[in-house]
Amino acid sequence: MKTSQFFLHTFRESPADAQIISHQLMIRSGMIYPTYSGIYSWMPLGLRVFSKIEAIIAAEQDKIGCNRILMPTIQPASLWIESGRYDCYGKEMLRFKDRHERDMLYGPTHEEVITDIARYFIKSYKQLPVIFYQISSKFRDEIRPRFGVMRGREFCMKDGYSFDIDQEGAQNSYKKIFFSYLRTFKTMGLTVIPVRANTGAIGGNLSHEFHVVAQTGESEIFYDAAYDSVDPAALTFEELEQIYTAADERHDPATCGVPAERIVKSMGIEVGHIFYFGTKYSKSMNFSVIGKDGAPFPPEMGSYGIGVSRLVAAIIEANNDKDGIIWPDAVAPFKIAIITTNQQDTRGAALAESLYSKLLAANVDVLLDDRNERAGVKFSDIDLIGIPYQIIIGTKAVEYGQFELKIRRTNIRQDLSFDEVLNKFSAGG
């Protein structure tokens, strides 16, 4: 992609209501546009990051055998009346009537819709276990939408739902998802802490939230300092459960059993939340399957969420400096930006064009900044939008064949030849 074609619009200032750095940087880099309070449009730069995050999540879900589907955003109230949640869900649910005066809603979550699907397709224990997931828009009429896409009203979630024969099966599905989430977040360059949580409106008795530790997080989390020195992916679920972690509403210093001086308290951004709730929905919605013994039974269920749009902001909170965003490679909108310092210099422009087409041919995600702007403007824009690697093509490149590589995160600069640049990045380095 070339900046001469790419719809890149950066701003020097951020609006007064943008209180946290990720919100400010997302607006300043033109990643999102606030269409309405808590409702955002994703612009080309933002959508590239969003899509990479979505693809990482989907790849990991597929790898562990989850089935991707797509459910409607608009749901009939009747399903929620069946499950018993219609009256208790409260004002967060956007309710309206269709032209036939039937009660409808914009889905804040999909337990009812998936249970209705499952009871149509699944008749026998032989069809279990199965896990479905989707990546789609949700609407929650949050009382205080804020921090941009961090707490939106319309937002994107990966929501997954498991169906199992018995408790043991359901807990295995839960654990499988638990560890897949650790891998998913790691691939995005994020460190997360899974904490024991309450189940709230979803219901059930086993639940974990996944938190990115950040000053600007909205939730308080508590955990045993011992957690800081473990690699959760290297432990079993049972071993991990031995180390105390808790979401705010679950933490009780009197009963937690960990000496106060060992308890770490920090702010966290909740990027994922998983629930095991047994037969809550299968029972209330009359979903049962025929068991081995010929008798019908309600399957055991769990649900598993990742905040896809929130993740974009969370990654920025964890990766920025005074000049802007610093994307981890895996989610960067472009891996490399080629910057000509003087686009009028046809020799430099030709070198840039040639490097650009060779990198493109090698399948590298590259942005060519071929704008007729001052070098300083280009440098600050490319820093702001967080491209991990910058190749600067100025007089040194034209005169001596020296292409300056700047690494955004470390600010380390290095002169490379044309072929060295090509080899370094074509090999996936």
> By C-beta, is 142 or 420 nearer to ligand 5CA?
142
Q: Does 157 bind ligand 5CA (CB under 6 A)?
A: yes
Q: Does 142 bind ligand 5CA (CB under 6 A)?
A: yes
Q: What minimum distance in Å lies between the beta carbon of 38 and ligand 5CA?
A: 8
Residue from 148, 152, 217, 348 in contact with ligand 5CA (CB under 6 A): 152
Residue from 28, 119, 140, 196 in contact with ligand 5CA (CB under 6 A): 140
Cβ pair 153, 141 in contact under 8 A: yes
Q: Does 268 bind ligand 5CA (CB under 6 A)?
A: no
Q: Which stretch binds ligand 5CA (CB under 6 A): 41-49, 147-155, 281-289, 351-359?
A: 147-155
E-strand stretches of 203-335: 206-213, 219-224, 245-247, 263-278, 289-290, 296-297, 300-307, 320-321, 324-325
CA distance 335 to 313: 19
Long-range CB contact pairs, 279-282, < 8 A, 24+: 280/203, 280/204, 281/83, 281/111, 281/112, 281/115, 282/115, 282/118, 282/119, 282/163
Residue from 40, 139, 155, 223 in contact with ligand 5CA (CB under 6 A): 155
Which of 305, 330, 346, 383 lies closest to 138, judged by CA? 305
Residues paired with residue 325 on neighbouring β-strands, in sequence order: 320
Q: Does 159 bind ligand 5CA (CB under 6 A)?
A: yes
- Helix 44-63 crosses helix 308-318 at what angle (to 10 degrees)? 110
Q: Does 273 bind ligand 5CA (CB under 6 A)?
A: yes
Cβ pair 211, 221 in contact under 8 A: yes
Burial of 200 (0-12, 13-18, 19+ CB in 10 A): exposed
Q: What minimum distance in Å lies between the beta carbon of 7 and ligand 5CA?
A: 25
Q: What minimum distance in Å lies between the beta carbon of 151 and ligand 5CA?
A: 5
> By C-beta, is 208 or 406 nearer to ligand 5CA?
208
Q: For residue 151, give Cα distances in angstroms to 14, 381, 423.
A: 18, 26, 42
Q: Does 203 bind ligand 5CA (CB under 6 A)?
A: no
Q: Which stretch binds ligand 5CA (CB under 6 A): 152-160, 177-185, 281-289, 421-429?
A: 152-160
**CA dihedral over 384, 385, 391, 396, signed as positive or negative:** negative
Who's near 426: CB < 8 A, 6+ residues apart? 358, 359, 362, 364
Q: Which of residues 91-120 bind ligand 5CA (CB under 6 A)?
A: 109, 111
> By C-beta, is 271 or 398 nearer to ligand 5CA?
271
Residue from 245, 309, 319, 402 in contact with ligand 5CA (CB under 6 A): 309
Residue from 56, 93, 177, 271 in contact with ligand 5CA (CB under 6 A): 271
Burial of 59 (0-12, 13-18, 19+ CB in 10 A): exposed
> By C-beta, is 181 or 425 nearer to ligand 5CA?
181
Task: Tell me the two tokens of residue 261.
Answer: 């001086």
The 10 Å Cβ neighbour count of residue 405 is: 18
Q: What minimum distance in Å lies between the beta carbon of 309 and ligand 5CA?
A: 6
Q: How many residues line the site for ligand 5CA (CB under 6 A)? A: 20
Q: Supply φ then ψ for residue 402, to 5 degrees.
A: -105, 120
Q: Does 299 bind ligand 5CA (CB under 6 A)?
A: no
> By C-beta, is 14 or 136 nearer to ligand 5CA?
136
> By C-beta, is 209 or 381 nearer to ligand 5CA?
209
Helix then strand then coil, in percent of the chain rounded to 5, is 35, 30, 35
Residue from 50, 125, 174, 304 in contact with ligand 5CA (CB under 6 A): 304
CA distance 154 to 41: 10
- How many Å from the N-terminal Cα to the C-terminal Cα in the chain? 20
> By C-beta, is 147 or 223 nearer to ligand 5CA?
147
Amino acid at 196: R
Q: What minimum distance in Å lies between the beta carbon of 320 and ligand 5CA?
A: 19
Q: Does 305 bind ligand 5CA (CB under 6 A)?
A: yes
Q: Does 217 bind ligand 5CA (CB under 6 A)?
A: no
> By C-beta, is 140 or 408 nearer to ligand 5CA?
140
Site residues for ligand 5CA per CB under 6 A: 109, 111, 140, 142, 151-152, 155, 157, 159, 202, 270-273, 303-305, 307, 309-310
